[in-house]
Amino acid sequence: MMNNPRQLALSILNDFGISEPQNIEIEDIAHALKIPIRHVGLNGCEGRILHNSKHSIITLNNNTDFETRKRFTIAHEIGHYLMHRKDSTNHNDDISSLSWFDDKNQHKVLKQEFEANEFASELLLPTDMFAASIQAKPFSPNLIRTISDHFRVSRTSVIHRFTEHGNHPICVFYTRNNKVHYWRKSEDFRYYIKGITKLPPPSDSVCAEFFNDNTIYSVEDSKQEIVKSTWLDVKDDFVDDVFYEFCLVHSSANLAISVIWED
């Protein structure tokens, strides 16, 4: 078994002769791999996969209106099937696990969620296509939305792809139930992050506005001005320097993904 989720995804695309994943139905790959899919109404769950020693079945929530989310969920479950079925762990996936991209957490199930998300990201949007789509374009919430819509892949996965292969330094925070679970940054993001893991987000962050007042900005206002010291540990001279935050919220999961950057 190949243990690199991205290589595995590319080998699947290659096996099926797929060069433009945005133009195929991901469900067809599951059928070709002979994994049955059932569509039912699920509550608080986007999809799951059950295995015994011989068989697997994927169940998908048919109450999801977002085509993009369905595609990402199917791709994620195929990832579990290919990489994790041997240890017969069943996975129940909601938006919080489908948005989990912590590359450092070694907890077994969380690591498997990370791997399934990496697999799904690459299957739906191979890295070379991502690189071509950001060429000479500055980072902005709009760029994330445009790529996500064009390739029919989740916004969160595009944000994390940007931390790995972007052309502009960013840092991403995953905050759930008013607690920062982890952050992840581009290699060239050269600032110190405040010690906020396991704590509520900074009181002057856009993320805190969501958790405290349920504020959700419209698409036009999704690039919000903050200051450098909101999320970062900086010297006195720089605390008021301009920084930006884009906070992507999933109210149903009480989850916020914040991206911060400097223009």
In whole angstroms, the minimum distance from the beta carbon of 45 to Zn ion comes to: 10
How many other C-beta atoms can be found within 10 angstroms of the C-beta atom of residue 67? Answer: 9
Of the pair 95, 247, the CB lying nearest Zn ion is at 95
Binding residues vs Zn ion (CB under 5 A): 91, 93, 97, 113, 116
Distance CA 74, CA 120 (A): 8
Of the pair 27, 209, the CB lying nearest Zn ion is at 27
Of the pair 29, 171, the CB lying nearest Zn ion is at 29
Of the pair 27, 93, the CB lying nearest Zn ion is at 93
How many other C-beta atoms can be found within 10 angstroms of the C-beta atom of residue 195? Answer: 9
How many other C-beta atoms can be found within 10 angstroms of the C-beta atom of residue 203? Answer: 9
Of the pair 76, 184, the CB lying nearest Zn ion is at 76
Q: Which two tokens stand for residue 63?
A: 């109450």
Task: Match 């405290």 to its residue by tokens.
Answer: 212
**91-93, strands of its sheet edge to edge:** 37-40, 56-61, 47-51, 91-93
In whole angstroms, the minimum distance from the beta carbon of 179 to Zn ion comes to: 21
CA 177 centroid distance within chain: 17
In whole angstroms, the minimum distance from the beta carbon of 80 to Zn ion comes to: 6
Distance CA 210, CA 198 (A): 17
User: Which residue type sits at 9?
Assistant: A
In whole angstroms, the minimum distance from the beta carbon of 253 to Zn ion comes to: 14
Helices (H), the chain: 5-15, 26-32, 67-84, 95-98, 108-124, 127-134, 141-151, 155-165, 206-213
Of the pair 121, 224, the CB lying nearest Zn ion is at 121
In whole angstroms, the minimum distance from the beta carbon of 122 to Zn ion comes to: 15
In whole angstroms, the minimum distance from the beta carbon of 128 to Zn ion comes to: 26
